[in-house]
Amino acid sequence: MNRVTHPDPAALGGIVNFRPAPLVAASGLSLKYFAPVAALRPYVQCYWQARGRGGEPAGVELLHPDGAAGLLFNFGSALERDGERVGGGCWVDGPKQRTARLAVRETLDLLGVRFLPGMVFPFVGEALSALVDGELTPGVALRRLELEALHEQLHETPDLSSRIALLEGYLLERLRRHEAPEVPALLASLGWLQRRHGQGSIAELVTELPFGQRRLERLFQLHVGLSPKRYARLQRVARSRELIKQGGVAASLTDTAFAAGYFDQSHFIHDFKAVTGFTPGGYLDYAQRRYG
């Protein structure tokens, strides 16, 4: 197999001193986040490492959708997501519309890149609509990305900071070769929906754009993989989850629905369950067990 060659990340301004923010979950998952170099911050949310802790019983971690996509590299045992084993060692993780459930065992060892919503296109060169619905697209299916060769190099580089530097060098080189087109209207639309937590009609959004809804739909399908309406729903459900966690045992689900932009309980329950797999009341019980 040909090795992927990349420039020295330090020479390109890549970060060398990483600042992990560790989180140890009740599922036994040890999770660390790392910030990208300045040149990648318009595109990359973070790099992350997820590992199972020795001696911990097997658990399940919820992976909630936020409209973003990522790259995923496995160095442990076979990955199990949504009750099924996933073959391969590296994938493009397309934008999800439903919460995924990751099995956490002590042999879990993952490294990933999480892009900002709408910002992965320069790195994969694929319409995001082809990568949606929560399926992991194996690296071998997108040979031009050379993800399998990159995975092999990462596997041969056991030091975490060196792995992230190698991964960052790959992204910087992809960005150099495939410069992102300017899509200010897409960024403005995403920001509009994010600031409103998915509230406000798409028709209202379109009145602030220099083109119509049909072009907005095409932009979202290409760069986000979801329609603006689907993306807005993810934002509203994410806001609902945060309100439920913040409210704790005193959380009023009626008030939560209203604050998240729902004006009837049936619509709220339908959207919440369609995305998370829980009813709002079921998620409140889960949050109490998980977060206290």
What are the pLDDT digits (tens) for 14-30?
333 344 444 555 567 89
Q: Is residue 7 part of a domain?
A: no
Which one, of 190, 199, 195, lies nearest residue 268 by Cα? 199
Q: Of the candidates 158, 177, 196, which is a domain's last residue?
A: 177
b (16+ CB within 10 A) / e for 258-281? eebbbeeeeebbebbbebbebebe
Q: How many domains does the chain have?
A: 2
Q: What is the CATH number of the domain that holds 97?
A: 2.60.120.10
Q: Of the candidates 146, 177, 208, which is a domain's last residue?
A: 177
Q: What is d(CA 111, CA 113) in angstroms, rounded to the nearest whole number? A: 7
The overall longest dimension of the chain from CA atoms, in Å, is: 58
Q: What is d(CA 111, CA 106) in angstroms, rounded to the nearest whole number? A: 15
Q: What is d(CA 93, CA 91) in angstroms, rounded to the nearest whole number? A: 6
Q: Is residue 216 part of a domain?
A: yes
Q: Which stretches in the chain have pLDDT values below 70? A: 1-27, 55-57, 133-134, 180-182, 292
131 and 198 share a domain?
Answer: no
Directed axis angle between helix 228-247 and helix 265-276, to 10°? 100
Q: What's residue 57's pLDDT?
A: 64
Give me the domain span that covers residue 220: 184-291
Q: Of the candidates 124, 151, 177, which is a domain's last residue?
A: 177
- Write the DSSP assignment of 181-207 as a string of letters: PP-HHHHHHHHHHHHTTT-S-HHHHHT
Q: Is residue 13 part of a domain?
A: no
Q: What is the DSSP letter of 292?
A: -
109 and 243 share a domain?
Answer: no
Q: What is the CATH number of the domain that holds 277?
A: 1.10.10.60
Directed axis angle between helix 228-247 and helix 280-291, to 10°? 50
Return contacts of 238-241, CB within 8 angstroms, 24+ apart. Answer: 238/64, 238/66, 238/197, 238/198, 239/197, 239/198, 240/268, 240/272, 240/280, 241/64, 241/276, 241/283, 241/287
